[in-house]
Amino acid sequence: MPASREVVFVDGVRTPFGRSGPKGLYAETRADDMVVRVIRELMRRNPGLPPERVDEVAIAATTQIGDQGLTIGRSAAVLAGLPKSVPGYAIDRMCAGAMTAVTTVAGGISFGAYDVAIAGGVEHMGRHPMGEGVDPNPRFLSERLVDGSALIMGMTAENLHDRYPSITKGRADAFAVASQEKAAKAYADGKIQPDLVPMAARKAAEGWGLATADEAPRPGTTLEALGGLKTPFRPHGRVTAGNASGINDGATGCLVAAQEIAEELGLPARMRLVSYAFAGVDPEVMGIGPIPSTERALRLAGLSIDDIGLFEINEAFAVQVLAFLEHFGIADDDPRVNPYGGAIAFGHPLASSGVRLMIQLAREFAERPDVRYGITTMCVGMGMGGTVIWENLA
């Protein structure tokens, strides 16, 4: 049996993220076709990788039905033109699907079962709303295993505000405005575009179009505008459409490999996987999930929070990021946190978002050779958190 091997992040790409709904970019585009576009772009960008050397394709989706079903890792690999010898499978850990796809294939690479793998995720929330077709067991409520709010993500965010009374609506709105401003600056500075793959999208009424940029960002968002938004989850609540991520469609993918294989094939190694951890929390406050998962990942890596020079935290809700920052004693506007902005601006197509965090961290690492360690972390529906710690190879 081979000794465990170092695992590196080679490259990552994503489609522009669209707004879900009949007017969104991808209203009439299939989810599996978005994955195909990502896989083909990964192969195009890395011509040194022979397609037959891809050992696995792991693709996540939260709602695994329709065009997101049919063990999408395998079906998308075939549709993308990879050799039929390349296997694939599907993963579901809700919002952390793509993150789990990466950590799962990374374990296989470290163990020696794979040399190179593709991992990613897709969510077409316009075609498949979160929870479509599910049948929650009545025992969850009848036996009080969870509170009734646990299955409605916005209500779990309101619960988190209750738990952290210092996190006011004003703080959440200010964080959301900053996310929009950082995303607009990242676009203006050309930081996001290099890892977007243009996606052809057709609508019966309009014909063919080309999606080349994220649809969700709202540059110019002001505190005043956010202050007037409704609080749909609770009267006089604190969670609004402005300080939460939207409902989105999009796909992500990345190449991960054993470090020695990347060197052999001449593939770039942008970052090394140091450690990862997942943790469970009360589903009613699922937003605190990244706190225990990060503590565990740091412990496994022998690091402290002070060793981390960059944080990519998925902004499902502003309150959830602020709770993480408050716990670790990090300022709301710390420049290490989401320097390009986050999901409040870009959107959060559930299972795909974990790899977006990694794509942005790898780009930030390249700019910051002075930073050694970074984190990608996110909260997960049903009360979980996931964290991956990366080392900068730039």
DSSP per position, 343-366: HHHH---GGGHHHHHHHHHHHHHH
H-helix or E-strand containing 297? helix 290-301
Segments of 100-158 assigned E as strands: 116-124
Answer whether residue 151 shows pLDDT above 90.
Answer: no
Answer whether residue 148 shows pLDDT above 90.
Answer: no
Structure tokens at 352: 């795909």
pLDDT of residue 252: 98
Contact (Cβ atoms closer than 8 angstroms) between residue 388 and residue 288? no
Contact (Cβ atoms closer than 8 angstroms) between residue 349 and residue 251? yes
pLDDT of residue 1: 55
Single-letter amino acid, residue 152 = I
Contact (Cβ atoms closer than 8 angstroms) between residue 14 and residue 105? no
pLDDT of residue 2: 58
User: Any idea how long the chain is?
Assistant: 394
Average pLDDT over every residue of 4-13: 97
List pLDDT tens digits, range 260-285: 999 999 999 999 999 999 999 999 99
**Catalytically annotated residues:** 95, 348, 379
181: Cβ contacts below 8 Å, ≥ 6 apart: 219, 221, 341
DSSP three-state, residue 82: coil
Average pLDDT over every residue of 11-27: 96
Q: Return the bridge partners of 275, or none.
A: 389
pLDDT of residue 131: 86
User: Over the chain, what is the mean pLDDT?
Assistant: 96
Q: What is the DSSP letter of 49?
A: S
C-alpha separations of 295 from 301, 303, 377 in Å: 10, 9, 11
Average pLDDT over every residue of 85-91: 98
- Percent of the residues in the chain that have a pLDDT greater than 90, as a whole number: 94
Average pLDDT over every residue of 156-176: 97
pLDDT of residue 3: 73
The model's pTM is 0.97
Answer whether residue 196 shows pLDDT above 70.
Answer: yes
Burial 277-296 (b: 16+ CB within 10 A, else e): bbbebebbbbbbbbbbbbbb
Q: What is the DSSP letter of 68?
A: G
Average pLDDT over every residue of 63-82: 97
Residue 23 burial by Cβ neighbours in a 10 Å radius (0-12, 13-18, 19+): exposed
Single-letter amino acid, residue 59 = I
- Percent of the residues in the chain that have a pLDDT greater than 70, as a whole number: 99
91: left (phi over 0), alpha (psi -120 to 50) or beta: beta
* Domain 140-191+274-392 annotated CATH 3.30.365.10: no
Angle at 11 between CA 10 and CA 12, to 5 degrees: 140
Contact (Cβ atoms closer than 8 angstroms) between residue 179 and residue 342? yes
Locus of tokens 């970074």: 374
List pLDDT tens digits, range 215-261: 999 999 999 999 999 999 999 999 999 999 999 999 999 999 999 99
pLDDT of residue 227: 94
- CA dist 56 and 60 (Å) reads 13
Average pLDDT over every residue of 87-111: 98
Locus of tokens 């998962």: 293
160: Cβ contacts below 8 Å, ≥ 6 apart: 167, 285, 287, 288, 317, 319, 320, 323
H-helix or E-strand containing 58? strand 56-60
Answer whether residue 348 shows pLDDT above 70.
Answer: yes
- When pLDDT is cut at 50, 70 and 90, the band that residue 109 belongs to is very high
